[in-house]
Amino acid sequence: PLAPLSNSTAPYSGRFQLIDQETGQPIGGRKVKVWSSAGWSTLDTTNGEGMTSWVNHDTSHAIYIGLVQGDEA
């Protein structure tokens, strides 16, 4: 299961930063879906620096990100 989205000391952790390709500036307030190769997923919103919340696990899994469009959830 997904651990709380915080900057903890889990042995495996990661997060994403969204950057506007044209301006090079972070994209804050963007709704995203984050999921793993283990099968869990969560919806998140990037902060003012364009960062997602931390994802923390006790085992290694690939994590992915996708932009949430409109009312998609």
What is the structure's pLDDT at 42?
92
The answer to whether the beta carbons of residues 10 and 63 sit under 8 Å apart is no
Whole-number mean pLDDT of the chain? 85
Q: From residue 6, give the alpha-carbon distance in Å to each of 13, 33, 55, 70.
A: 10, 16, 7, 26
pLDDT at 46 over 70: yes
CA distance 24 to 6: 26
User: Averaged over 1-26, what is the pLDDT?
Assistant: 76
Residues 33-45: tens digit of each pLDDT: 999 998 999 999 9
